[in-house]
C-alpha cells in the first residue's frame, strides 16, 4: 500500500487528505509547501521587518488573527485578552472577530492596535453600532467578514443565534463610507477573487484580507494561488492574507506574492490555549526569525523589496 503523504502543520506532521478532498485548508497547505525559493545571497543584508500601517509603526508584518469566542472555552485564563497582550508586547497589529461590545472593550483595553472584524449581520444597524463602538474604543480600523453570509446548508448563515445577511457592492460602499465618517479605514475580510477585489475597490474599501476563512468554501482556491491576480486589480487598497500561515516561511511566500502583511491563527492556537501570552510571544519570535532568515538568503532588505520572481512553482517562476 502506498504510504500516505504528510504535510507540516503547527503541531508537527499531519496526514494529507485524499486528493479529491474538499478541505480547502489541505489544498492551501499543499500549495504553499510546493512553492520553492531561489537563493540570492550576494550583496544581501540583515533584513528589517518593521511595518507601517495607517500612520502606525509595527515590529513585524506578521499579525494576530481575528479570533472569536475563545474566552468561552472554559479555561482558567482569557485567551482573547492573552493574545491581545502578546500583540501589545510585541508591537503587532491585533485583530478581533465576533465578540459582544462588552467583550470587545475588555480586549481593546489591553492597549494593542486592534482591527475589529464584524459579522455580516442581516441587521445592518447592528453592524454600524458595533463599528461605532469599536471606534469609540480606539480601533485602528473596522471591517466585515464578507465570506460569512452563506451557511453549510446553502441558506443565510446563523452564528450564535444571529442571522447573517448577504452583501452587495452598494452595501460595502455604504459601510466603508460610514467607517470613513467615523475616521477609520474599512476592511473587507474574505476576498478570494479578482472579481470581488475589484468590487471592493469600487466600493472605496481601504484594505482586503485574501482568505478562505480556513475552509468555509469547499475546494476554495489557496490565497497564495489567487493573490497575484488580486494584486493586479487592487489599486491603492492594502492587501493582507491569511490561511495556513504556520511559520515565517509561509509568511515570506505570501509577502513575496504581494501581501503587505499576513495573519497567523492556528499556529499560535495550541500555545495560546495552554499557556497564554508567553507561548504566543515565543511562536511569533520564531516566525520572525524564520522570515528574516529567508529575506536574508534572498536579498530582501525590507518589506518593500520583495520580488515574486524569487519564487518557483513546479519548475517555473511566479
Would you give per-residue pLDDT tens digits along the chain (318 residues)? 333 444 444 444 444 555 556 889 999 999 999 999 999 999 999 999 999 999 999 999 999 999 999 999 889 899 999 999 999 999 999 999 999 999 999 999 999 999 999 999 999 999 999 999 999 999 999 999 999 999 999 999 999 999 999 999 999 999 999 999 999 999 999 999 999 999 999 999 999 999 999 889 999 999 999 999 999 999 999 999 999 999 999 999 999 999 999 999 999 999 999 999 999 999 999 999 999 999 999 999 999 999 999 999 999 998
Q: What is the DSSP string of 88-141?
A: HHHT--EEE-S--HHHHHHHHTT---EEEEE--BS-HHHHHHHHHHHHHTT-SE
In angstroms, the CA 269 to CA 256 distance is: 25
Cell numbers given for 161:
443565534
pTM: 0.93
Going by the DSSP 8-state scheme, the letter that residue 17 receives in this structure is P
pLDDT at 47: 98
Sheet of 35-37, strand order: 35-37, 311-313, 316-317
Task: State whether residue 208 is helix, strand or coil.
Answer: strand
CB-based contact 75:81 (threshold 8 Å): no
pLDDT at 8: 44
Cell numbers given for 256:
513575496
All residues at 6 or more sequence positions from 74 whose CB lies less than 8 Å from its CB, including other chains: none
Of 317, 315, 311, the residue nearest 37 (C-alpha)? 311
pLDDT at 12: 46
Question: To the nearest 5 percent, what fractions of the chain are helix, strand and coil?
Answer: 40, 20, 40
How many helices (H) and strands (E) would you count in the chain?
10, 18
Q: 227 vs 125, 303, 315, CA distance in Å?
A: 32, 17, 19
Task: State whether residue 286 is helix, strand or coil.
Answer: helix
pLDDT at 11: 43
pLDDT at 318: 86
pLDDT at 74: 87
Q: Which residues pair with 191 in a beta bridge?
A: 210
Chain Cα centroid distance, residue 193: 15
Of 238, 246, 209, 250, the residue nearest 226 (C-alpha)? 209
Sign of CA dihedral 81, 87, 88, 89: positive
pLDDT at 19: 54
Which residues carry out catalysis? 213
pLDDT at 18: 55
pLDDT at 73: 86
Q: Which domains does the chain carry?
A: 38-305 (3.20.20.70)
Amino acid at each position: 500500500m502506498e504510504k500516505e503523504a504528510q504535510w507540516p502543520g503547527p503541531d508537527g506532521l499531519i496526514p494529507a487528505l485524499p486528493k479529491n478532498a474538499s478541505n480547502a485548508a489541505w489544498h492551501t497547505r499543499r500549495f504553499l509547501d510546493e512553492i520553492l525559493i531561489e537563493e540570492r545571497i550576494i550583496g544581501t543584508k540583515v533584513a528589517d521587518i518593521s511595518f507601517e500601517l495607517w500612520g502606525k509603526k509595527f515590529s513585524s508584518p506578521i499579525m494576530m488573527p481575528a479570533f472569536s469566542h475563545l474566552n468561552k472555552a472554559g479555561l482558567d485564563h482569557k485567551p482573547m485578552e492573552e493574545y491581545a497582550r502578546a500583540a501589545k508586547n510585541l508591537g503587532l497589529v491585533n485583530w478581533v472577530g465576533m465578540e459582544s461590545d462588552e467583550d470587545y472593550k475588555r480586549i481593546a483595553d489591553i492597549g494593542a492596535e486592534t482591527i475589529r472584524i464584524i459579522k455580516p449581520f442581516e441587521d445592518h444597524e447592528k453592524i454600524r453600532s458595533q463599528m461605532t463602538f469599536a471606534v469609540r474604543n480606539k480601533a485602528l480600523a473596522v471591517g466585515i467578514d464578507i465570506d460569512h453570509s452563506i451557511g453549510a446548508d446553502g441558506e443565510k448563515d446563523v452564528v450564535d443565534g444571529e442571522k447573517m445577511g448577504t452583501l452587495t457592492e452598494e452595501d460595502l460602499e455604504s459601510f466603508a463610507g460610514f467607517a470613513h465618517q467615523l475616521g477609520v479605514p474599512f476592511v473587507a475580510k474574505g476576498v478570494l477573487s479578482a472579481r470581488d477585489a475589484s468590487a471592493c475597490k469600487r466600493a472605496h474599501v481601504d484594505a482586503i484580507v485574501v482568505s478562505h476563512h480556513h475552509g468555509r468554501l469547499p475546494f476554495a482556491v489557496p490565497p497564495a494561488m489567487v493573490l497575484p491576480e488580486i494584486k493586479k486589480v487592487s489599486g491603492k487598497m492594502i492587501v493582507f492574507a491569511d490561511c495556513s500561515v504556520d511559520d515565517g516561511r509561509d509568511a515570506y511566500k505570501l509577502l513575496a506574492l504581494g501581501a503587505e502583511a499576513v495573519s497567523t491563527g492556528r499556529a499560535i492556537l495550541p500555545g495560546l490555549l495552554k499557556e497564554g501570552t508567553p507561548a504566543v510571544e515565543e511562536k511569533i519570535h520564531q516566525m520572525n526569525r524564520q522570515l528574516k532568515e529567508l529575506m536574508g538568503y534572498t536579498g530582501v532588505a525590507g518589506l518593500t523589496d520583495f520580488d515574486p520572481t524569487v519564487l518557483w512553482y513546479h519548475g517555473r517562476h511566479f
